[in-house]
Structure 1
Amino acid sequence: MLIAATDLVALLSPSRIEALADRVRGSMPAERDRSLHQLVTTPAARVALDRLLTTWEQTAISGDVLAGILVGAAYARQQAQREISVELVWTGPTTPFVATRRTEQVLLDLIRHAQSDLFLVSFVAYDVSSVVDALNAAAARGIEIRILLETSASHGGSLSVDPIATMRSCVPSAGLYVWTDRPAPFTEGRVHAKVAVADGSTAFLTSANLTGHALEKNMEAGVVISGGHIPTGLRAHLHALIETKVIRRT
């Protein structure tokens, strides 16, 4: 019953859930209102409602109890949404059917709204003047900035360019980190993650490198997560890599 109610609550607005709760109050499964389906408008919601009603008919739960379950599930969902949000991030061709945020927009927002610390990880970094300007502005207001990048072949990495030197000249106040001591089974490993986390409260996971093409022209996808345990865990993990000397400052 709880699973069926949760599935339905995920597909309907709180006002529709309240209307359903009003309809079932004071009734028993065998007496349920046959017009309940008029309150749902999508095929997925109708299937979820059918599943809930079928489950209800197999119990002796009163309509008052079912109404309480629905209202409680709706409230819990609203609270969870206030505490954590996940948004789709997309660079490249868009359609009018799905709302997305652009990679550059999300990254700049994350940098500009950081309150204490910021950690960025990318494979390469160059040709990103908007990001560089935002990072320097963040540093100027006292934000601690750490950046982990893949290194050039001459410094133990895999790149023909040197993103560390580029970033050092562009954002001189940032702490720059590398992963060059790679024991088995990571001997041929690369810094291929593309993530950013601010204050342990907002995390951005993306396919995009810190390059102009990635932020403006490529087809790139990611998610930005605000609240919850994932940003906190990501920040703690990155800091632990420093503390355990898996990555080192250069």
Structure 2
Amino acid sequence: MTAPPVPASEPTPVAGLSAVLARLAAELPSAHRQAWIRVLHASPVPAPGVEARLLTAWPGGTRAELARALMRAWSSALPTPDGPAVALALQAAAVAHTTATEARRVDLVVSGPTTAAVPVRYTAQVIAEVIRAARRRLIVVSFAAYQIPEVVTELRAAADRGVRLDVVLESPREDGGVLRQDARTAFGTLAADFWHWPATRRPTEGGRASLHAKLIAADDHTAFLGSANLTGQALTHNLEVGVVLRNPEVVGRLVAHFRTLMNQEHGILRRL
């Protein structure tokens, strides 16, 4: 009689080992994990002494429960891989975990008053880092802009290394916006394409709409989103908060949104 298939909800022994290795990759500090990899690489089979060597491989960093889980899963795996294969699998799981974590990391950014709840990462510093991360295209969106010489210096450096700059700003009142002056003056002679939201393309009901978004996106991989305008006061003294996204999927959608808005045929924004 043919044995019944294993239900999809029940992990196979090999899947159990994979799950334990993924857990080790996520929970063990890098140096501790490397010490375990060395032990595994020198262990042909899951013999009883291997667990003891794991526990003494990294002084001061005992992970008895993880060591037991690893040995149990390794011994149960069919076919049973040798130690170097398990070591290689743990190393691969660690690389995959690091790559996924870095790609989806979110950093908090503050200006003005700070507390112990958020490690200090000032808005001006983060904006400079995001600008420096751009290699092909940089999209800068702000409601207002003035007194930002440090930001303009970074943008000039980006333009000098061949980065295409698109700067989207709110318009002055005479052009259908709500600002008292043209925000482009803050950028001097910066080599960039400047965009605005013409009055003829804004909603006419429910009051005057404004371009109030704040975004700096480097290529399709890194973006800063926050409450701060590109003004000297906002980047230093105001109480402002924001986040840096390093998730290419999310950042890519944000960038695609603004590229669609900039489309000369169908978009609402127009190049100045």
TM-score normalised by length of structure 2: 0.64
Q: State how far apart, in whole Å, the 2-side matches of 1:210 and 1:40 are.
A: 50
Which residue of 1 is the match for residue 213 of structure 2? 193
Q: 1:49 aligns with which of 38, 62, 66?
A: 66
Which protein is bigger by CA-based radius of gyration?
2
Between stretches 26-35 and 15-24, larger displacement belongs to 26-35
The answer to whether the 8 Å contact 2:55/2:64 transfers is: no
**Which structure 2 residue ranges, 5 or more long, are not aligned?**
1-15
- The structural deviation recorded for 1:122 is 1.7
Residue 8 of structure 1 pairs with residue 24 of structure 2: yes
Q: CA deviation at 1:73?
A: 0.7
What does 1:16-165 correspond to in 2, within 5 Å?
16-23=32-39, 25-28=43-46, 33=51, 36-37=54-55, 39=58, 46=63, 49=66, 52-53=69-70, 56=73, 59-61=76-78, 62=80, 64=83, 66-78=86-98, 80=99, 84=103, 86=105, 88-92=107-111, 93=113, 101-112=121-132, 114-136=134-156, 138-139=158-159, 143-152=163-172, 155-157=175-177, 159=178, 161-162=179-180, 165=182
Helix, strand or coil at the partner of 2:262: helix
When structure 1 is superposed on structure 2, of 193-202 and 116-125 the one drifting more is: 193-202
* Equivalent residues in 2 for 1:160-179, closer than 5 Å: 161-162=179-180, 165-168=182-185, 170-172=187-189, 173-179=191-197
Deviation string 1:175-204 (CA, Å, 9 cap, x unpaired) is 222345356999976534322123445433
The TM-score with structure 1 as length reference comes to 0.69
Counterpart residue type for residue 56 of structure 1? A
CA distance in 2, matches of 1:94, 1:106: 16
In the alignment, is the contact (CA less than 8 A) between 1:204 and 1:224 conserved in 2? Answer: yes
> How many residues matched?
243
**How many angstroms apart in 1 are the aligned matches of 2:65 and 2:194?**
50
Secondary structure at the counterpart of residue 193 of structure 1:
coil
Residue 246 of structure 1 aligns with which residue? 268
Cα distance in 2, alignment partners of residues 204 and 83 from structure 1: 15
- Measure the CA separation in 2 of the matches of 1:238 and 1:112: 20
Q: How many percent of aligned residue pairs carry the same amino acid?
A: 30
* Distance across 1 between alignment mates of 2:213 and 2:60: 41
Gaps of 5+ in 1: none
Distance across 2 between alignment mates of 1:70 and 1:113: 31
Contact preservation (8 Å) 1:29, 1:56? no
Question: Which whole-Å CA distance do the structure 1 matches of 2:35 and 2:24 have between them?
Answer: 13
CA distance in 2, matches of 1:26, 1:229: 41
Q: 2: distance between equivalents of 1:47 and 1:182?
A: 63
CA distance in 1, matches of 2:230, 2:103: 26
